[in-house]
Amino acid sequence: MTSPPPFVGAYPPDGSFWVPSTEAAKYPWRYGDLVTTPADAKSYGAVDSKERPWRALMLTHPSCELGVKGAPNGVQAVRVYWLREVSQRQRTQVILGFAEVNGHTQVTRANQVYLAPVPGHASLGERMYADLRQTVRIPAEVLLAAGRVSAASHDARLAVLRRDVYFRYRWALSLDDVLSLEQVRIESDTAFAGPRPQWAAARTDRS
């Protein structure tokens, strides 16, 4: 198996978090992508307590390419915040994903997924986080019309998957665990769309 990508804490470096904008069109919309909050955000509950639209959304379901399988109740997405909206201590915990407590390393802020700045973006060009507890369901066609801000890299998706699994089931999977599972899934998918990660070539390409 190819070695895991170099991570900083629980996440890949900011510079490899998002697919470069020049390459993004090659990647179908998938789990972990950052999308624009629709104009009619209130209709879908994607507004704050003052009825202001959420800053952005991160896709969390379906886990395959958007549109490959039906989503009769809408695509699930979670709320995205600027990282500066929380305290400095919490920012550090979100970025690292782990903390030492009484001599032991443990997951911190399990529901919060760190998101790197989107290069060149006017409002999302700074560090962010997604809150897995705050979910909405929005029709795929509405999200597609609103537009994708940035496509998550395959390495970033590993980090998001690992976080999501811990949040939902408290399974403390290692990065190697998630990498192995994703490698098998992608290598076995003959209909996989878009560029494959270097660590998961198609089986037909392997000797």
Nearest to 167 by CA among 103, 97, 96: 97
Domain of residue 84: give its range. Answer: 14-201
Go through the chain and tell me how many residues it has.
Answer: 207
The total of structural domains in the chain comes to 1
Q: Is residue 1 part of a domain?
A: no
Q: Is residue 102 part of a domain?
A: yes
Q: Is residue 9 part of a domain?
A: no
Q: Is residue 86 part of a domain?
A: yes
What would the pLDDT profile of 145-165 be if each residue is shown by its tens digit? Answer: 999 999 999 999 999 999 999
Q: Flag whether pLDDT at 70 surpasses 80.
A: no
Report pTM. Answer: 0.92
Q: What's the CATH number where 178 sits?
A: 2.30.30.110
Q: Is residue 207 part of a domain?
A: no
Task: Provide the pLDDT for residue 103.
Answer: 83
Residue entry with tokens 């760190």:
114
What would the pLDDT profile of 31-64 be if each residue is shown by its tens digit? Answer: 999 999 999 999 999 999 999 999 999 999 987 7
Q: Is residue 6 part of a domain?
A: no
Percent of the chain with pLDDT over 70: 92
Strand partners, 106: 99
Q: Is residue 77 part of a domain?
A: yes
Q: Is residue 3 part of a domain?
A: no
